[in-house]
Amino acid sequence: MKFKIAFTDIDGTLLNKEREIDIVTKEQVKRISPEIPFILISSRMPSAMYHLQRDLEIEGLPIICYNGGLILVDNKPIHSTEIPIELHKVISNIAKETPFHISLYNNDDWYVPSMDFWAKREENNTKVTPTVAETDAVIEKWEQEEKGAHKIMCMGEEEAIDVIFNFLKENHSDVLHLYRSKPTYLEIANKEISKLTAIKTLLKHSYPEFSLEESIAFGDNYNDMEMLEAVGFGVAVQNAKPEVLEIADAVVDTNHNHGVAQAIEKFL
């Protein structure tokens, strides 16, 4: 089948060990552009994705942020699903008893309570600088504005993340999607969204001439599995989780050895 549109995860899939896009990948994306739209789909915020679009010379294409919680076309939201504000308060209260870092994200706003180890680490990884503001003050402001976070990131010692993960899983798993990307990281989003729901929404809105079966996707982690299984062809990089490797239609080299570029060259 001739694939007409491509979707790629970023961290662990597209970026190399320096968290950059290597020249081989840039060349392959340039080869297929603009005939085959190359769409970035990630848990990242918009600002942490725009510079990657510039590197790939695909500025102007839609982006899917927050694992599907926010979809931007021409820099404007066509879809937005936030976390209920009352659950922000629950998470903040637990952090007061079992300290861990809380990052709050809405569209291109990123709030942290201080520039601690975790905030500086994410700043280095994403090349975006957060705004420092007290967590409860941000929650109060958002409640008045009738909005919530597209993503909440909890980071800290593994034991502290165990506490918040287990509590939310036991009490709010019907509302929240909990993604533990590392033992010290917990990403929280609304359960209504996923990378797959976002792809379906974007295709319907911006690419009605393309079908899910005509789509190819690249990924490495648990939150990519639904997407990889549903598209016409799902590709995993070699460093992917074992469960992801098992369900993929094809496996290419690691992200450190431009696996996505190999997949583009082979399949597109």
State percent of the chain over pLDDT 70: 100
The whole-angstrom separation of Cα 47 and Cα 9 is 16
Domain ranges of the chain: 5-80+193-267, 85-190
CATH code linked to domain 85-190: 3.30.1240.10
| Per-residue pLDDT, 147 | 95
> What architecture does CATH give domain 5-80+193-267?
3-Layer(aba) Sandwich (3.40)
The whole-angstrom separation of Cα 15 and Cα 19 is 5
Six-digit token pair at 244?
A: 């992801």
Give burial (CB, 10 Å; 0-12/13-18/19+) of 246. exposed
**Contacts with 162 (C-beta within 8 Å, 6 or more apart), sequence order:** none
DSSP state of 220: -
The whole-angstrom separation of Cα 8 and Cα 218 is 5
Which range among 130-139, 180-189, 228-237 shows the weakest confidence by mean pLDDT? 180-189
| SS3 assignment, position 205 | helix
Helix or strand holding residue 253 (H, E): none
Q: State yes or no: pLDDT of 15 exceeds 80.
A: yes
**For residue 117, how far is the Cα from the chain centroid?**
21
Which range among 12-16, 127-131, 177-181, 186-190 shows the weakest confidence by mean pLDDT? 177-181
**Contacts with 259 (C-beta within 8 Å, 6 or more apart), sequence order:** 13, 218, 237, 238, 252, 253
The whole-angstrom separation of Cα 85 and Cα 26 is 40
DSSP state of 82: -
Q: State yes or no: pLDDT of 187 exceeds 80.
A: yes
Assign 3-class secondary structure to 9-43: CCCCCCCCCCCCCCHHHHHHHHHHCCCCCEEEECC
Q: State yes or no: pLDDT of 1 exceeds 80.
A: no
| Angle, alpha carbons 191-192-193 (nearest 5°) | 95
The average pLDDT across 231-256 equals 98
Q: State yes or no: pLDDT of 181 exceeds 90.
A: no
Instruction: Summarize pLDDT for 70-85 with one digit per residue, the tens.
Output: 999 999 999 999 999 9
Strands (E) in 59-192, as ranges, are 63-65, 70-73, 76-80, 101-106, 109-112, 131-132, 151-155, 176-182, 185-190
Instruction: Summarize pLDDT for 34-69 with one digit per residue, the tens.
Output: 999 999 999 999 999 999 999 999 999 999 999 999
